[in-house]
Structure 1
């Protein structure tokens, strides 16, 4: 079943958190809401979960309406059949791992074969043998696995992720990203994931929904929103972008070439103003003659600051769009 929201809106006091919004999350897909803090992505997630009440619109799962402003229908959170993984894990410190995972099952009065269900969920997240431990006896990554096991133990129709990896260190976050994505796919779950981290969004998602100021600006595959941004904010927020002002024409740093190819190219004389070593390559800031903005470029060796070089940009790598108002 697809999740459908139509005309969903929310304001807190006089501040609009979400303008009337439409969104469809396809069954079996991994969809990510991506945007800066305050863009409305968490507000959408909490309204879907039933933790916030929308001011308007409808939310449905397949043919089942779980919220309707016009008909004043509100299905309680515990009856929606959704799992949720929170940013701060939200584990009960006085409960064992087993009881934390069993919490949703007991709340939903699904106590038949509860031990078997809990142990199976723990096995899926690689926590076999840890059911008697308490949260404080686990690492951050293990606590996150417990939170995920609790979400999937109820066999949810949809799993909601509220920036679940932000509390982890960088190395563990990358490992958990791969594990979480694999588990979602292996279990055939439908997932809606909220993050401000573009790497998480681009690497995990079937569809990325980019938001800003309470509105959806663009949705599409990671390749589409990166390669063909429809909005200047999207182009700047996802990856690095170089701009030919004032024409609102952009290109990505990796498309700026140091050697001429057989393609039709624009050429620019640039001066290198800054060089950073980032591991697999050098990241350079360059100033092009006749252009006000500095650009980002990549090179496989260190070039000296002050060096002037001719660079080339294939015509087909330019992307034209309209600046956001």
Structure 2
């Protein structure tokens, strides 16, 4: 099984320009809303037509602008799972599952395929119900069963959990495990959730403004991000513009400080990142130690997050602004610090002034 995509499509000021290959694996597309993830899947499925380029699935040319090839969605025989599952409300569960099975299959074969997929997804006994009689989780399982029953050349899932609460999402993720185990071929998985992508995907492509800016394993993305988009999508709360001072030092104009690094600073460094839970208390002045004021705190179940303002900003390009004057500029001048509530230390409180250290071996430097 294989997939080769090299396409471009323009919408006024926005252009999708992606090129990638995939084999028997789950390739994730990770990116913010509107970056081109879903559009890429729709082009592969034949719902959208690229302006130019080529799409080849398992040796079959789906689209080739030069050769004037553009197969219909029916001819492509792909499976694309949307967020709302797209079940036929007037068909029973069994008929929904059978909807994608080719006409060449006999009545007995169709019945056997439907029974197999209903059983696989825990839907035995639901065949004669209608979608409106099912829970959201059951509807999703019907949609997944329909995907496998059709024996598609490629599976594509477009943020299948975006509308679910956390508990139901955890339960239904197991349905995807069953789907992925049963399917041998290329699976494309769209998400804006890094943890979701890490659980399901062998490789992850970071999409930003219509382009793939980096590809790699989940471990590579989390521990060695190569782009600003990848840095932010990997869950790094602190990402700020940087410029090189020398081989092991960068200046951060929005924070107004300089940071020493253990890794060599690239000449074209663009951004520094440091995860919120890597910041640590310090006794006083020292390398990468800064006086910081706790301007806000917020609590989750197990953590406290503190918004830290730099008291001393000798390298700032602009004066500090208040929240009421410019919310985004205010936030960009701050660092996030995340502390476990399960600690014997006193948790930071709003108004505290502390010495905070940025470990030189815990920073990321990206160039694009």
Find the counterpart in structure 2 of residue 10 from structure 1.
9
Structure 2 residue ranges without an equivalent (≥5): 243-251, 254-269, 314-319, 321-332, 342-346
Q: Distance in 2 between matches of 1:26 and 1:137?
A: 38
Three-state SS of the structure 2 residue aligned to 1:282 is strand
Structure 1 residue ranges without an equivalent (≥5): none
* Count of residues in correspondence between the two structures: 315
Q: How many Å apart are 1:296 and its aligned residue?
A: 0.9
TM-score, structure 2 as length reference: 0.79
Q: Is the 8 A contact 2:293 2:353 kept in 1?
A: yes
Q: How many Å apart are 1:187 and its aligned residue?
A: 3.7
For residue 307 of structure 1, the aligned residue among 341, 345, 352 is: 352
Find the counterpart in structure 1 of residue 69 from structure 2.
73
2:263 counterpart of 1:266: no
Which moves more between the two structures, 146-155 or 216-225? 216-225
For residue 155 of structure 1, the aligned residue among 145, 151, 172 is: 151
Q: Is the 8 A contact 1:17 1:39 kept in 2?
A: no
Q: Is the 8 A contact 2:23 2:185 kept in 1?
A: no
Q: Distance in 1 between matches of 2:293 and 2:200?
A: 37
Q: How does 1:1-325 map to 2 (within 5 A)?
A: 1-6=1-6, 8-12=7-11, 14-19=12-17, 21-27=18-24, 29-106=25-102, 108-111=103-106, 113-242=109-238, 243=240, 245-246=252-253, 248-258=271-281, 266-291=288-313, 293-301=333-341, 302-322=347-367
Which moves more between the two structures, 248-257 or 39-48? 248-257
Q: How many Å apart are 1:52 and its aligned residue?
A: 1.4
Q: Is the 8 A contact 1:177 1:200 kept in 2?
A: no
RMSD, aligned CA: 2.3
Q: Distance in 1 between matches of 2:287 and 2:124?
A: 58
Q: Distance in 1 between matches of 2:230 and 2:56?
A: 28
Q: How many Å apart are 1:135 and its aligned residue?
A: 0.2
Q: Distance in 1 between matches of 2:146 and 2:178?
A: 17
Which of 1 and 2 has greater Rg? 2
Which moves more between the two structures, 145-154 or 310-319? 310-319
